[in-house]
Structure 1
Amino acid sequence: MSLHLIELPLSLQALHRWAGTRSLAAPFDEGLALHHLLGEAFGPAALQPFRLMVAPRAQTGTLYAYAGVTAEDLRRQALSVLTPAHAEVIDLDRLRSLPRPAEGWTEGQRLGFDLRLRPVVRLASALAGTGENGEDISFRKGAEIDAFLAAALRGETASREDVYLGWLAERLAPAATLDLAATRLASFRRTRILRNGKRLEGPDALVHGTLTITDPAAFAELLGRGIGRHRSYGYGMLLLRPPQRGR
């Protein structure tokens, strides 16, 4: 499958208004709103994974995504189904794309990246222990929890950054290896998201770093697929950059 990097300007105020009309704004879940908006305008998973970038105090944002078709194909598709409410949010005239062909990647190639992640794991068995505040906590088999919390409950003493970078390295393989000396946890917070009518609380992390391609074909697939869970809600998109400097 061919791959294209998509760039799409959005009005943030219009996005909030649109989400309000769809009962998606109380409280507002940006990833959920964009998931529904993009699906209605371009088709299910047409723009996935994606990432919304917003400058401080800006009224507009830029959505980046990977897609299997060009901007012109996406524009043609959207024009057939777009509503006036969609058009207030999405600036189709400024939708554009660049090809990311599989043959453009080579073994040993080093690339920097900017990546928003939700580093969670699904438990293969029940897990219990003591929380940060000394409280007893337990999770059932199949629960989705913070990868760092899971490691701590198993008695591991690695830092949050080390756990998250290890989590990422596992998911990059076998397509690429992670350069730990040039990769860092840039920011971390805990957020609540709405999935299937349930509120889930968990980690929301930004990682800036450098990787080395080990399997070009697998790397091309990884770009189009994204990394980790919640990829259709704004997580897991590898935004490529020049290689980063070591720490």
Structure 2
Amino acid sequence: MTDLHFIRLTLHLDELGRWAAGRDRGWAGRGVRQTFDEGRALHHLLAETFGQGVLQPFRLFPMAGGERGSLYAYATADAAALTETARACAMPEIEAVVDLDRIQGKPMPGHWTAGRRFGFDVRVRPVRRISRPLPRADGDAFAPGAELDAFLVEALRRFPEGARDEAMLRAGRSREAVYADWLAEQIGAAAQLEAGTRLAGFERRRLARTGRAPEGPDAILHGTLVITDPEAFTALLARGLGRHRAYGYGMLLLRPPGRDG
């Protein structure tokens, strides 16, 4: 199996905004509902600098003050190869955004052991595409193919009569519980989640996509997993979890078991 590397970039976030607005980009804040989608800007920046899908999945952590940030990603190329590619191919203005002299990386383990436990931290967009219409509160319906919050999908199916949030809580189906089950589905046979997966952060975020601005859940989940299929686990790390993996979601960060926060 191809070696996997854990990469860190230092980014100048104010320059990222200027770079995104510096060309005729519909996603740079002047397009759909004036939405600036940081994940989409990073998707294009990374593709233009290192190649399509090379640094993916990824996750951005802004530093104190918000002027700079650390972007972490999994890649099959090491830090030296990434630096060489960027030096040869990146447009000059990208050097104001990415500190090419400070690309760091380490190799991930080449083999995992079934039964090994890890804590995890993952940012996801827990959504489902529906295959049949679902009634809306306003009497209309969501059309087949719509991408909806996984919590909303379950609530609409279980309690079509209304008062869904309260009914879901009475049924023991909190947003945290629904998202934990969704996450277990995404992980599949690679690992098993232990009880206690926690919703550590949640907001609703609007994305900028071509001709539309879908709004949906942006969740951070913490918990503990046990590896059940080592090869599938390596593939899971490299692929990421859920939808929108190319835009800053789905990177599974590992922690020592028992660590939280």
SS for the counterpart of 2:93 is helix
2:194 pairs, out of 167, 179, 186, with 179
**Where do 5+ consecutive residues of structure 1 fail to align?**
none
Whole-angstrom CA distance in 2 between matches of 1:141 and 1:28: 28
Deviation at 1:245, TM superposition (A): 5.7
> Deviation per CA, 1:103-139, whole angstroms, max 9, x where unpaired?
1x11011111111000000112121143xxxx33421
Whole-angstrom CA distance in 1 between matches of 2:256 and 2:74: 18
Whole-angstrom CA distance in 1 between matches of 2:51 and 2:186: 27
Whole-angstrom CA distance in 1 between matches of 2:113 and 2:211: 43
When the two structures are superposed, what TM-score results if normalisation uses the length of structure 1?
0.93
C-alpha contact (below 8 Å) 1:102/1:217 kept by paired residues: no
**Where do 5+ consecutive residues of structure 2 fail to align?**
160-167
Deviates more, 1:106-115 or 1:228-237: 106-115
Whole-angstrom CA distance in 2 between matches of 1:47 and 1:137: 41
Whole-angstrom CA distance in 2 between matches of 1:56 and 1:153: 40
C-alpha contact (below 8 Å) 2:36/2:208 kept by paired residues: no
Is residue 220 from structure 1 mapped to residue 234 from structure 2 by the alignment? Answer: yes
SS for the counterpart of 2:189 is coil
- What's the counterpart of residue 155 of structure 2? 152
Equivalent residues in 2 for 1:49-198, closer than 5 Å: 49-103=57-111, 105-130=112-137, 135-155=138-158, 157=168, 158-181=173-196, 183-198=197-212
- What's the counterpart of residue 208 of structure 1? 222
Deviates more, 1:3-12 or 1:236-245: 236-245
When the two structures are superposed, what TM-score results if normalisation uses the length of structure 2?
0.88
Moved over 3 A (4+): none
SS for the counterpart of 1:31 is helix
For 1:33, the aligned partner's letter is: A
For 2:65, the aligned partner's letter is: R
> Deviation per CA, 1:167-221, whole angstroms, max 9, x where unpaired?
001111100011122x200011101001233110000001111111000100000
- What's the counterpart of residue 18 of structure 2? 17
Deviation at 1:101, TM superposition (A): 3.2
Deviation at 1:57, TM superposition (A): 2.1
Aligned residues: 240
> Deviation per CA, 1:126-170, whole angstroms, max 9, x where unpaired?
21143xxxx334211111110000000001621111100000011
- Please tell me the root mean square deviation across aligned C-alpha atoms, in Å: 1.4
- What's the counterpart of residue 243 of structure 2? 229
C-alpha contact (below 8 Å) 1:128/1:136 kept by paired residues: yes
> Deviation per CA, 1:53-107, whole angstroms, max 9, x where unpaired?
013423110000000110111111111111221000001110011111331x110
Whole-angstrom CA distance in 2 between matches of 1:206 and 1:152: 21
Instruction: Give the structure with the larger strand fraction.
Output: 1
C-alpha contact (below 8 Å) 2:7/2:103 kept by paired residues: yes
C-alpha contact (below 8 Å) 2:63/2:70 kept by paired residues: no
